[in-house]
A and B are shown apart, each in its own frame.
Chain A
Amino acid sequence: MPYFLGYTYVAVFLLFGILIPVGALLANRLLAPRHPDPEKLQAYECGLATPSDNTLPYNVRYYIFALLFVVFDVETIFLYPWAVAFNRLGLFAFVEMIVFIGILVVGLVYAWKKRLLEWL
């Protein structure tokens, strides 16, 4: 398959993926009843009146996990090309990647020892 044809497929599939829900939403607009009333439009709450702003503070731990995720996700970006070319690169690249992963593991151990991986 020619190189660009493959990505034409991808583009067409993305377009299709958008068209399916848009079509369903249009059908819904034509077929469904529409009787909004203030009670119905309230956010779900167990019988209480809903405050207009329902955002609430959430645990700061989420950010720490997000930061850790960024580190390791960037690592995987380096690992994929390395894995594809592994058979051509030889022992040196393998040792080098172990050193690279080792440095990141030191970071993980640090976070672990600092009790950042616990949910307090």
Chain B
Amino acid sequence: MGQPYLRLAAAALILAAFVLGTAAFLVWFERKLLGRMQVRPGPNRVGPGGLLQPVADILKLTVKEDILPEHADRPLFRLAPLMAFVPAFAAFVVLPFGPGLVSADLNIGLLWILAVSTVSVLALIAAGWASNSKYALLGGMRAAAQMISYEVPLVLSLIGVVLAAGSLRLGRIVAAQAHLWFAVPQVLGFIVYLIAATAESNRSPFDLPEGESELVAGFHTEYSGVRFAFFFLAEYSYVFLAAAIATLAFLGGWSGPFLPPVVWFLVKTYAVIFFIIWLRATLPRIRIDQLLSFGWKVLLPLSLVNIFLVGLFRFI
């Protein structure tokens, strides 16, 4: 017992608070931004500028009745929100916020995040299946098709970064960008990553799994109360993670002049999040056939071309 265990407990507690706080803040940030982009004030009643609105929402969801649909597959229905949230939280263990500011600096950091966040597709399809409702099932199937199709270009677009940095350790990847952000030589990979990451976290214009106007609420149609809240927390955690990886792998991580590294990291991450929300406010939802053919016929070949180009330039 002693120091290492103290650090471990502190890291877990701080990150738990950070993940929940960030998810709540992102809900407010997104609603406020969408409101502004649609020329309306957005949430502005609870707390200063509506800042406490997500907190009120979470508290309200906690005291709401937990409804289990009659014909649902009970164990699976109960398990699905956990399956969505646990990997989203576990991915944060390797996320560095600054030099040395990381819970566990694994040498496979990037791979761990990619591997563990894949599990969420199982949660969505389990939720869709277990609900025993046609909207939920359709949403779950769409989620599965979409997430596996965009997983491939997402993972391939990051290979260029791994190749140039020669390591999967996120700290090393940041250090390798000391002179030039990877977003400059690998602009193709960066674009593919941004699009695929938006689709992976089921964000508009790729929000088909929950398409409100056609599927009620998609895979979480039957969920209410706390269970619904955890799907929401997981979704916003993934938005933050996607933006954080974009920052670490392509935008030079925490490096920047004058300000402390943590501030730079958060500024860049929130800039990417702003862009993702901006997309949602601007673009209409696309159809599933467009979605899948775009993923396989455009993004996948482009990500392979990116790997080839990055590899080729290493020899020139």
Give A residues with C-beta under 8 Å from B.
1, 5-10, 12-14, 16-18, 20-22, 24-25, 27-29, 31-36, 38, 40-45, 50, 52-56, 58-59, 61-62, 65-66, 68-69, 72-73, 76, 79-80, 83-87, 91, 94, 97-98, 101, 105, 108, 112, 117-119
Contacts and interface: CB of A to CB of B under 8 A. Distances in A.
B152 A76 contact: yes
B166 A24 contact: no
Contact of A58 (B141, B166, B292): B141
For the complex of A and B, the 8 pairs showing the least CB-CB separation, nearest first, are A119-B289, A9-B104, A17-B89, A43-B133, A17-B86, A69-B148, A41-B70, A83-B162
Contacts of B229: 24
Contact of B144 (A62, A76, A79): A62
B145 A62 contact: yes
B17 to A, nearest CB: 10
Contacts of A33: 65
Identify whether the interface residues of B are mostly helix, strand, loop, or mixed: helix
Interface of B: 4, 8-9, 11-12, 15-16, 20, 62-72, 81-82, 85-90, 92-93, 103-106, 111-112, 129, 131-138, 141, 144-145, 148-149, 151-152, 155-156, 159-160, 162-163, 166-168, 216, 221-222, 225-227, 229-230, 288-289, 292-293, 296-297, 300-301, 304, 307-308, 311, 314-315
B232 to A, nearest CB: 12
A25 B11 CA distance: 23
Contacts of B129: 55
Nearest to A95: B311
Contacts of B308: 98, 101
Nearest to A52: B71
Contact of B159 (A14, A43, A79): A79
A17 B288 CA distance: 33
A43 B132 contact: yes
Contact of B63 (A18, A32, A43, A66): A32
B81 to A, nearest CB: 6
A58 B71 CA distance: 20
Contact of A76 (B62, B159, B297): B159
B134 A5 contact: no
A79 B138 CA distance: 33
A88 B109 CA distance: 21
Contacts of B67: 36, 40-41
Nearest to B155: A76
